[in-house]
Structure 1
Amino acid sequence: MSESIDVMTVAAGIARLAWSHEHTIDDVRREVAAALREHGRVETWVDPDDHAAQRMATWSGMHREGVMRGVSVDDQAVDRIVYSRLATDAPLDEPGGFRSLLNSFLPRKRAISQLLVRDDRERVLMCRLTYKQDWDLPGGVVEVGESPRLAVGREVEEELGLTFSVGNLLLTDWLPPWGGWDDAVCLVFDGGTHPESILDHVVKQEREIRDVAFCTPEEVRSRAADFTARRVEAALRGDADYTESGR
């Protein structure tokens, strides 16, 4: 007979579960339900390398909340994935409850929206950023629940004080993991053609923007990272809807 599942009250209204690999999903699910009769929250901490325990936590109805780094377990600093279920969570047999569970652990990919703005000499509006040496297209990260089209307009207005009518999507460029960043999808929208004099109206967000200028393709190649230059060139050519790192 397997050992009982350990249920420990760690704070007011909070129970923490631990189990062995001998237990089944039904065992854990029953203990979660029992603990929720006396607690508002039931949680478990799972080793990131223990994939079986991660599946057990998920299919017993606990939501993945994130990774706690460097917590003390048996006097050692380790990382642990936190899963939990609240008494107020929708039942798993309801569509909303099951979708919420899936949404807690399914992959979420970062999205970046950028704007391709040109002048009448076919130069491209580029920004020199404060947090890296390379120049890049204006734009930024899409917030959770935000439209990518609205995001790029918001970012450009915040960073440069300029308001553009955001046109069609020109390019979707996948960016592989790089320099400590996770992978991302970059969406390049058409910002239209404008006179060079719009630079007179730029109000730089000093925390993020060092400089802004219209650049020739050659200047883009010399000032931007290789993958950024490739993305700009692909967007200008207009012969591909999708690229990976500009290729």
Structure 2
Amino acid sequence: MSKQPTTVTPVGEGVARISWVADENVDVVRREVAAALVDHQRVEAHVAVDDETGQRTATWSGMRREGIMRGVGGDLVVYARLASDTPVHEPGGFRALLNSFLPRKRAISQMLIRDTTEPEPRVLLCQLTYKQDWDLPGGVVEVGESPQDAVVREVEEELALSLPAGPLLLTDWLPPWGGWDDALCLVFDGGVHDSSIVERIVEQEREIRSAAFCTAAEVADRAADFTARRVASALRNASPGVDGPGPTYTESGR
């Protein structure tokens, strides 16, 4: 029985979908993609998430990975190439191709803000609307945004405080949990301030219920255990004692 050829099927205005047999040569698929782009603005392929060979074929034929389409019959990885895409043989086109499928890590920026309480400063924590645990102010870094700029933006958006972000105190890796992918949490030094700074806070109602300076005991009581460990590590780095600074890298606060 002869092998079925690679097929290109129009699926919409200016859009074609390409499919091929499992052992098809990448060069053949690449030529068919190029030929289809003469008459179409977009050529796409849907490849099963467990078909690693098919995903390699799609990639090295010049199609960029766009995401996963979930479905009853099984999830599919969507690949596509546009007529306007930079040619893969050019540096910009090759980098864009690699960027489409290489792993991406979510980043969270937080700020450690302390007050002048003696003998140990308290830490500013936020009571959040979307979870029971309290946490340091901050949030997710946007695509293409500096983590240091992100934490300044988040603190201003959430609390209406304009505070510069000082040195990086801690990098904490957060493993996958409860439906979340893993992430890197970067804690920046927000400095030491008079406790009256809380009077200037205007909570963003959508995300923040309240904010307060908390003692170490209150941090342990109000925050998740991994958050409490992260706060303790960041504090050691911000105010090193006789034992020296704490770790600059932790995993889930450890």
Q: Taking structure 1 as the reference length, what is the TM-score of the superposition?
A: 0.96
**Cα distance in 2, alignment partners of residues 133 and 43 from structure 1:** 43
Q: 8 Å contact 1:2–1:22 — kept in the other structure?
A: no
Q: 8 Å contact 1:13–1:41 — kept in the other structure?
A: yes
How many residues get paired? Answer: 242
Match of 1:138 in 2: 137
Match of 1:170 in 2: 169
Identity of aligned residues (%): 67
1:225 aligns with 2:224: yes
1:37 aligns with 2:38: yes
After superposition, residues 81-230 of structure 1 pair within 5 angstroms as 81-121=77-117, 122-230=121-229
Amino acid in structure 2 at the alignment position of 1:112: I
Amino acid in structure 1 at the alignment position of 2:208: I
**Cα distance in 1, alignment partners of residues 184 and 87 from structure 2:** 34
Where does the alignment leave 5 or more consecutive residues of structure 2 unmatched?
238-245
**Cα distance in 1, alignment partners of residues 163 and 188 from structure 2:** 11
Amino acid in structure 1 at the alignment position of 2:236: R
Aligned to 1:210, the other structure's residue is in SS state: strand
Match of 2:253 in 1: 246
Amino acid in structure 2 at the alignment position of 1:97: G
**Cα distance in 2, alignment partners of residues 246 and 205 from structure 1:** 27
**Cα distance in 1, alignment partners of residues 23 and 115 from structure 2:** 67
Q: 8 Å contact 1:170–1:188 — kept in the other structure?
A: yes
After superposition, residues 23-102 of structure 1 pair within 5 angstroms as 23-70=24-71, 77-102=73-98
Q: CA deviation at 1:78?
A: 3.1
Q: 8 Å contact 1:2–1:23 — kept in the other structure?
A: no
Q: Taking structure 2 as the reference length, what is the TM-score of the superposition?
A: 0.93
Where does the alignment leave 5 or more consecutive residues of structure 1 unmatched?
71-75
Aligned to 2:9, the other structure's residue is in SS state: strand
**Cα distance in 2, alignment partners of residues 33 and 163 from structure 1:** 52
**Cα distance in 2, alignment partners of residues 11 and 106 from structure 1:** 29
Deviation above 6 Å: which 4+ runs of structure 1? none
Q: CA deviation at 1:77?
A: 4.0
Match of 2:11 in 1: 10
What root-mean-square deviation, in Å, do the aligned CA atoms of Structure 1 and Structure 2 show?
0.9
**Cα distance in 2, alignment partners of residues 226 and 14 from structure 1:** 51
Amino acid in structure 1 at the alignment position of 2:7: D
Q: 8 Å contact 1:25–1:59 — kept in the other structure?
A: yes
Q: CA deviation at 1:12?
A: 1.3
